[in-house]
Amino acid sequence: MELDVAAVRQAFPALSHGVAHFDGPGGSQVPTPVAQAVADAMVAGMANRGTVTSAEQRAESTVGGARQAVADLLGAQQHGVVFGRSMTQVTYDLARSLAKQWGPGDEVVVTRLDHDANIRPWVQAAASAGAQVRWAEFDPETGDLPVTAVADLVTRRTRLVACTGASNLLGTRPDIAAIADAVHQMGALLYVDGVHLTPHAPVDVGTLGTDFYACSPYKFFGPHLGCVVADHDLLKTLEPDKLLPSTDEVPERFELGTLPYELLAGASATVDFIAGLLPDADGGSRRSQVLASMAALERHEDRLFARLLDGLEGMDGVTVHGRPAHRTPTALFSVAGRSPAEVYQRLAARGVNAPAGSFYAVEASRWAGLGDTGGVRAGLAPYNDDEDVDRLLAGVADLCR
């Protein structure tokens, strides 16, 4: 079944403003059911989690429901879902917890391709433990990160490898399953930043072979929070810093303070929205519906991205950076004679949102020869259509004249 893009667009009030949004990699627009779920939770009567009052029970149900929703989205275990304020925050917390088990002589591998949220926490945690950091480098021309670039660095001294599931700058999708095999052969752990991958493809953390998989619901129609999924037994081996009276249960031991119940209600509604993208699909579990919806979403985005990429590459004066073999619908480009900031501003004046920068993937931008300035990023979402692409291409063409 194919995605009914016109019907999808109707669910997003922000699109009524007439803006063509290519800024999804930084945060997607939000559909009405998700916003309504957040609002409903805030006025329903809520309390700290418990089992006595109806308000306590409602909070407990909201948290459990959100864990199950994320598990259904990613093919994970409900009791292995950890929530936090952002992917960056949760990653920092887990890095500090893991580093308690490291020492001099140990090694950590990070990649030049990653967002800094999957680099700096590990670099800093390694420094605090006296461990060595090794850098996996991608091809600056194509943007590809070969499996060997990571595998050749992994030794018996490696404790953890941090690698992106998809580059938020260039769209590159490394072969995570093959990297996981190489990492596990040496007895190390694999931490995958799935923030940019999750909105664009069906994800199964078991098939990928990740030990930790991080993502951010606000990149796929949800509210602003982050989460990491991992095996429940693995999480039990970690001892995070926490308050004395707080629970030692997993995953709660990693969630500091009171969770944002209204955002968790929104996260559940987000997964339900994704599962319902194909309203005429056969019934089944939410997980099966999610997989069908994400497959249809991926086909739609791939078709649209082929048009976008052909249009940009066919213009004199436009340089598209990177040509990874496997990628998300994300293009980073430059226009000759104009700074990325100017292109961003000129397109915005036409109602086309395609921001400029390195987008916190500063190591990738520098390695690709773009410095800290980066380029203009056009990323697709399921609510983009052919008219959006035409508007972007027309705006860029005018800038080339």
Instruction: State percent of the chain over pLDDT 70.
Output: 100
Q: Token pair of 232, please?
A: 């429940």
Residues with Cβ within 8 Å of residue 79, at least 6 apart in sequence: 67, 232, 250, 251
56-101 pLDDT, tens per residue? Answer: 999 999 999 999 999 999 999 999 999 999 999 999 999 999 999 9
Evaluate the CA torsion angle 177, 179, 181, 183 in order and state its sign: negative
Q: Select from 228, 218, 220, 308 the least CA-distant residue to 263.
A: 218
The kind and range of the H/E element at 128 are: helix 120-129
Instruction: Please state, in angstroms and as integers, the Cα–Cα distance from residue 24 to each residue in 30, 125, 218, 380, following that order.
Output: 11, 30, 9, 6
**Amino acid at site 310:** D
Q: Select from 328, 347, 338 the least CA-distant residue to 393.
A: 347
Average pLDDT score over residue span 368-381: 98
CB-based contact 343:376 (threshold 8 Å)? yes
Average pLDDT score over residue span 215-228: 98
Cα(195)–Cα(360) distance, rounded to whole angstroms?
Answer: 13
pLDDT band at 1 (very low <50, low <70, confident <90, very high): confident
301-354 pLDDT, tens per residue? Answer: 999 999 999 999 999 999 999 999 999 999 999 999 999 999 999 999 999 999
Cα(70)–Cα(188) distance, rounded to whole angstroms?
Answer: 25
**Amino acid at site 319:** T
How many CB atoms neighbour CB 57 within 10 A?
A: 14
Instruction: Give ∠ CA 329-331-335 in degrees, rounded to 5.
Output: 160
Of 107-121, 268-282, 285-299, the least confident:
268-282
pTM (two decimals)? 0.98
Give the burial class of 49: count Cβ atoms within 10 A of its Cβ; 0-12 exposed, 13-18 middle, 19 or more buried.
buried
Q: Could you say which DSSP state residue 255 is in? A: S
Average pLDDT score over residue span 217-244: 98
Cα(317)–Cα(308) distance, rounded to whole angstroms?
Answer: 16
Cα(288)–Cα(299) distance, rounded to whole angstroms?
Answer: 17
Instruction: Please state, in angstroms and as integers, the Cα–Cα distance from residue 279 to each residue in 19, 287, 295, following that order.
Output: 26, 15, 14
Instruction: Bin 88: left if φ > 0, else alpha if -120 < ψ < 50, else beta.
Output: alpha
Instruction: Please state, in angstroms and as integers, the Cα–Cα distance from residue 224 to each residue in 28, 76, 127, 133, 217, following that order.
Output: 10, 21, 30, 31, 7
**Amino acid at site 192:** V
> pLDDT value at position 279?
84
Average pLDDT score over residue span 122-140: 98
Query: 314 by DSSP, 3-state: which?
Result: coil
> pLDDT value at position 114?
98
**Amino acid at site 154:** V
pLDDT band at 282 (very low <50, low <70, confident <90, very high): low
Instruction: Bin 179: left if φ > 0, else alpha if -120 < ψ < 50, else beta.
Output: alpha
Q: Could you say which DSSP state residue 131 is in? A: -
Indicate whether 140 pLDDT > 70: yes
Residue-range domains of the chain with CATH: 5-30+287-400 (3.90.1150.10)
Cα(67)–Cα(74) distance, rounded to whole angstroms?
Answer: 11
Instruction: State percent of the chain over pLDDT 90.
Output: 98
342-368 pLDDT, tens per residue? Answer: 999 999 999 999 999 999 999 999 999
Cis peptide before 251 (omega within 30 of 0): yes
Cα(352)–Cα(32) distance, rounded to whole angstroms?
Answer: 22
